[in-house]
Copies of this chain bind each other. A is one copy, B any other.
Amino acid sequence: MEFKKNDIETLINIITSRRDVRGNNFLNKDIEADKIELILKAAISAPSVGYSQPWEFIVIKDEKIKDEISKNFEIENAKAKEIFKDREIYKSLKLEGIKEAPVNIAVLYKHPNEPTIGMTSIKEMGEYSVVCAIQNMWLMARVLNIGVGWISILNEQKALKTIDAPKESKLIAYLALGYVDKFYDEPELKTVKWKSEKSFSECVSFR
């Protein structure tokens, strides 16, 4: 397939308007099953090291699971508040939308049982494949006008137990998905001046 100029513009628009969405922006509106399927199909079309496809996706609507994950977040975030006690604004940030989002998706990594092409020198490659899948999901959700938030302030082992994850899984991401009232124009942590944007030249060098 040969892509054209307008396809480039479309992808730039999707990539640059994607945001991390939290509970204050999710709408109380369910996501259609065919849209969830499109998001998951984008995930499993991601590259994976040695074609290992080392991912598992658990789609969660169960309110009891969400409650427990939310409590897990609160405990971990209390510790984080202590770490950031010198920056008053931390406490006022809404950092997750576990219960506000109609759908949560836990994304797990399963270490392959056999040697995998491309993992013989760098062991983390399997986990990286799962993250590629997550970024595909995020972009597919965005083009469907669905917001995604990645919740990482969690105790991993407790979360795996809560979602009844298969043994020896690793939690790569816990995502909250839902329609939104709006997508912000820029990352919220930039808007509130938590950190400034790095320039292109700060991030890129040439050899």
Contacts and interface: CB of A to CB of B under 8 A. Distances in A.
Nearest to A18: B47
Given A18-B47, A117-B90, A189-B50, A205 B11 contact: no
A207 B164 contact: yes
A26 interface: no
Interface string A1-25: 1110001101111111110100000
A145 interface: yes
Interface string A87-106: 00010010100000000000
A131 to B, nearest CB: 4
Contacts of A84: 115, 117
A207 B122 CA distance: 33
A155 B200 CA distance: 28
The CB with the most chain B CB atoms within 10 A, among A42, A49, A156, A205, is that of: A205
Interface of A: 1-3, 7-8, 10-18, 20, 37-38, 40-47, 49-53, 55-62, 65, 76, 79-80, 83-84, 90, 93, 95, 115, 117-122, 124-125, 127-128, 131-132, 134-136, 138-140, 142-145, 150, 152-156, 163-164, 171-173, 183, 187, 189-190, 194-195, 197-198, 200, 203-207
